Structure 1
Amino acid sequence: MLKAERVQYILQRLQQLYPDPPVPLDHSDPYTLLVAVLLSAQCTDERVNQVTPALFSLADNPHDMAGQEVHTIQAIIRPCGLSPQKAKAIRRLSEMLVESYEGEVPRDMEALETLPGVGHKTASVVMSQAFGVPAFPVDTHIHRLAQRWGLTSGKSVVQTERDLKRLFPESSWNQLHLQIIFYGREFCSARGCDGRVCEICRTCYPDRKHPKKTLKA
């Protein structure tokens, strides 16, 4: 199967399986999404969704969060891991939103990336899912599947993002990155598929004899 054929097949199959994929992190606005995505670093979405109700009952906007003590935030988010760094980042980014953006999350990639604890992937999620701006957030899971499906040589998440944006139409990006995440969790996980097991891997590479070795991001 040629790469162009794989791209079309993947698009069509994921659309059939996940026609309207939800954002897996519970949130109510751009700010709560930003905080939830920050918390999801090296943590499962399920765990984040268990923690954020208590956090957002304490403060669900930059003004209120900026007034909290770091140790208070940390005590709530401890189950997510890396709580000292994340608590400081949440408090400081909230202060910066109040100081520089009138308490609003900026609709600008570069501005988002200047906030503490907010890298390119987090900013991309906020731009795509909170504001509907085309972006293609790539985490290690998407990076791995893109290699298994022959969409990238996979030397880094930066390269993978660039390759996926080149291969897929811009109009599909915001939905497609969620579809790949859901498919990976259900069918093509790190332990559940080695590049020869799931439907998409078998269809894209029916003659693959050995496990697909993927390069870590």
Structure 2
Amino acid sequence: MRAHADAFIAYATDPDPRVRRASIEGLGLFLEDAERAVGLLQERLVHESGVAERVLVVQTMADLVLRLPAAAAPARAWFDALADSGSTDADTRLAALAHRARCAPDSIDDRTVPVVIELLRRVTPAPPPEQDPAPDDRRPSRCVHVRPRRRAIRLFPGTSPQHSTTSNATAGSMPPTPLLKALHEALGARFDDRKALLTEQLRSADRATRYDAIDMARRLIASWRGDHTDLAVHSPM
């Protein structure tokens, strides 16, 4: 595969976004020249307007750093610039923070989680208010348990179906759950930061984001001793 890395470079600029999504990861997996790979990914982000492709480029840069440490310094500077840029879309900034933490845990500081929480609120907007029922629908009825309809599952680039998410961010936004899972893993033993982030996820106005947070909270509670009151109080019932 690495002998044919140039094919992935060509496909990464294909007019069809589906072809680009299928090939962008190859830039991080198969190129042996770290400097060239970093430059190609940086250029790719400049030319990508789709959120899915932009987030995938950021993820691929982190994959490259983990495979080729020579890419770490320029990639770290790039992550920093994206994360701190007020002109960059919230999805890309969130991806930059999560994947910078993933490949450079020393970059995590006291500002990381508060900024993630701010960006999470932007990418999971509140759903529209429910309409009042029509007059004919206000008659009493028996209580009947109805299985809720699951929203369409959208896969994050680079994940398999068993790692799918039920998040349903609005059109033009990516489901945040895979990024948040990566960030929780990078936070590791920073229990207070993880608890603060999970509390925000459980409070989210987006129902699917809350749903996805339940399993993350369960794993944290099962793995770490501590005061889990906030997580229990804010877990959806």
TM-score range, shorter chain: under 0.3
TM-score normalised per structure 1: 0.28
Greater Cα radius of gyration, structure 1 or 2: 2
Q: Which has the bigger relative contact order, CA under 8 A and spacing at least 6? A: 1
